Structure 1
Amino acid sequence: MQDTDPTPASRIASLTDWLRLESARGVGLRTAHQLLAAFGSPRAIFQAGHDALAAHLGPALARALHAPPSQATRTLIDTTLAWLASPSHHVLALGDVAYPQALANIPDPPLLLYIRGRIDLLARPALAIVGSRNATVQGKANASAFAGALSDAGVCVVSGLALGIDAAAHEGALRGTGSTIAVVGTGADLFYPARNRALAERIANEGCIVSEYALGTPPTSGNFPRRNRIISGLSSGVLVIEAAAQSGSLITARVAAEQGREVFALPGSIHAPLAKGCHQLIRDGARLVETVKEVLEAMQVSPLASVPATSSTNALPTESACTELLAQLGHEPLDVDELLERLDTNISQLSMGLLALEMAGMIERLPGGKVQRIHI
């Protein structure tokens, strides 16, 4: 399905054929895959005779494919070619050398990927981090800390640019060398949600924005569950941090399992509503994880594979740092923002310290994202 002629004119013609196929009325993704399996390429589909197409589609759709492109399709082609004039804009067709092989192997890979930013990130080891849009302060701190440490280890963090856990994961990953990929449910030329516009622009400059939707596609409710298969398809596994019992993150986890990806879940308090989805995943066979090291070991990535010598994001907190953290907790529950105000540290180090103390049985997490020291 890849055009072997490297000339610009040939590439433009090939992309035009892909855009015609994708926008053909009555031809959905499943039908397009059936046609590609039968004929090999969009060019061959459009050159096939009516009877050959009708054997797969029926006469009405065969006639539609033989018809000249509509005005809307011609406008889409012109818009896409103009968008591609930017060196940071790319469109990859299924079968292109740079098309991610892991994504190509899922049952229903996108025909086209619209990419804004660093296309090289698509070839890196990747892990998806997803979770609640209405995340707690602690949940966002955990997402940021895990993403930052994974990125420092050379792992690209994939998420969906939603509010809450997604945004925190992207922000954490941008601090490291692995960077981040945002899979969006709109055209790659749009910014959604508006509150994450600044983050999206930063990802477009330092990371990578990916969409299967044509340029100008607005956000609709059906787009986002559909894009979840791309989030998991680009990744070796999916880590869920905070999810309610009925959560879109559980859809991503289910799709990941169907694709043969590892599913990880961060546990929480039995009293916390946003822990119930993670606990359900664990009951269903997801791997319970409490540290970044556990995730890296499961991915068979060395924590020191590509960590800069000066990086401390993935370093374990020192004994003195844990002692100071315990002293600040005292007897009353505190949230992360209060602890940050009291301690000379950053969100990643604080979250790793809290994880270490929780593993040691010295603190407990409470509803509302607060933590409390356990006095024995």
Structure 2
Amino acid sequence: MVHRAVTVLGATGSVGLSTLDVIRRHPKRFSVYALTAGTRSEELAALCREFHPKFAVMADPTAAQKLAGLLADLPDVTVLSGESGLCEVASAPEACTVVAAIVGAAGLGPTLAAVRAGKRVLLANKEALVMSGKLFMDAVAVSGAELLPIDSEHNAIFQCLPAEKIRDPEGAGITRILLTASGGPFREHSAEDLLSVTPAQACAHPNWSMGRKISVDSATLMNKGLELIEACWLFNTTPDRIEVHVHPESIIHSMVEYADGSVLAQLGSPDMRTPIANGLAWPERIDAGVAPLDLFAIGRFHFERPDLLRFPCLRLAAEAFEVGGTAPAVLNAANEVAVDEFLKGNLAFTDIPVVIERTLSATPVAPADSFDVIFAKNTEARQRAREQIALLTV
């Protein structure tokens, strides 16, 4: 049994907390080297008292000062702040495994630092690949990092592929990837009903316990759009070879179709601890604390085609990938701004895709040939998205 020291980027979020629950169950196998959070200093302080990391990092400097005060009686925990602190612990040689669970574009820098340091990176931050696909995968190849997806859908695909053919699906005889989606809380809503959706309703996912931003993304199907782009980069394929299936039970997490007609699927309860445990211990299997799947209780599975008229974000994501260059980074930036304004009550749910599409049209596409270009285009797209929101809300 190999002992692994783990850094958790985004420890106070749903993926981070699920990761720590798996670690808690295996104290002889895993230890915590560093924990990070954005602004939740009190929550991170409580985790530090339980797991005793060497480092605790707050993205927000003010929150870091508060955390330092809360941990004043724990001199063995060093408190850092900002992106420099996040990148320092992500690349530190003492931790061989990094869980990349910071939500949004803010996670790209620290995740990239972990990749460049050659870590085993458990990737939950899909935006890193959406923004910088080829550059990110090139960095993985150069450093020899071990990139293991822990989004439930991508982990399911990973488990259904031969280990030596992860980046060569055609060589493995794969004809299609069947990417499943829950459909979110508004799957059966009419277009008229969607006009009055509230943030509280959008964050009430029927199957998964997730943060507010990803819950809204699930409700708009943008989460599936981002996952479509991520799957293309992870498994070296294209959108025309990926088919999205709405599966409201969220038990089949994704499937892979082979040339001989076989379809392999990974099933499990909708619990993030399963893919996290798979990534932490791979290629071994360990207890994740997840209840056994009761297929008799579920009874039957349902599948539907996604409705791209009511939920155009999935279409916009596929189109941005086809355009290439910085278009996916613009898509992601516009979505983050629009979702944030929706959650604040400043934008209608149905205007989220409107803002994204108008921002894509208003932002010139550039070759994504450096991270500096990507970060600059991310900043530009956010400003253009705010301008579009201002026009809509006058």
What range describes the TM-score normalised by the shorter chain of this pair? Answer: 0.3 to 0.5
Question: Scaled by the length of structure 2, what TM-score is found?
Answer: 0.33
Question: Scaled by the length of structure 1, what TM-score is found?
Answer: 0.34
